[in-house]
A = this chain, B = another copy of it.
Amino acid sequence: MSQQRHESTPGNPGAAAAFPDLPEATIARLPEYLRALHNLEGSDTISSEALAAAAGVNSAKLRKDLSHLGSYGTRGVGYDVALLIEQIEYILGLDQRRAVCLVGVGNLGHALAGYDGFASRGFRIVALFDADPARIGEQISGLTVRHIDDLARVAAEESIAIGVIATPAGAAQAVADQLVTAGVTSILNFAPCVLSVPAGVDVRKVDLAIELQILSFHEHRKASLTALPGGRAPTGNQEAVGS
Mark A residues whose CB is within 8 Å of B.
1-7, 12, 14-15, 18-19, 27-32, 34-36, 54-57, 91-94, 96, 98, 100, 107-108, 110-112, 114-115, 117-118, 121-123, 161-162, 185-188, 192-195, 197-225, 227-231, 233-243
Query: Could you list 14 examples of A-B contacts with CB < 8 Å?
Result: A5-B235, A6-B218, A6-B235, A7-B235, A107-B115, A118-B209, A121-B209, A123-B212, A186-B216, A188-B208, A199-B234, A199-B236, A204-B238, A207-B240
* Residues on B with beta carbons closer than 8 Å to the beta carbon of A206: 206, 208, 211, 241-242
A235 B56 Cβ-Cβ under 8 A: no
* Residues on B with beta carbons closer than 8 Å to the beta carbon of A161: 219
Partner of A237, one of B34, B92, B121, B203: B203
Partner of A186, one of B114, B121, B219: B219
Question: Given the complex of chains A and B, what is the CA–CA distance between A108 and B111 in angstroms?
Answer: 5
* Residues on B with beta carbons closer than 8 Å to the beta carbon of A201: 236
B32 A92 Cβ-Cβ under 8 A: no
Partner of A215, one of B204, B214, B243: B204
A122-B209, A122-B212 given; 13 more Cβ-contact pairs under 8 Å: A1-B239, A2-B239, A30-B213, A35-B192, A93-B219, A93-B221, A110-B111, A118-B212, A121-B213, A123-B216, A188-B208, A199-B236, A214-B242
A217 B185 Cβ-Cβ under 8 A: no
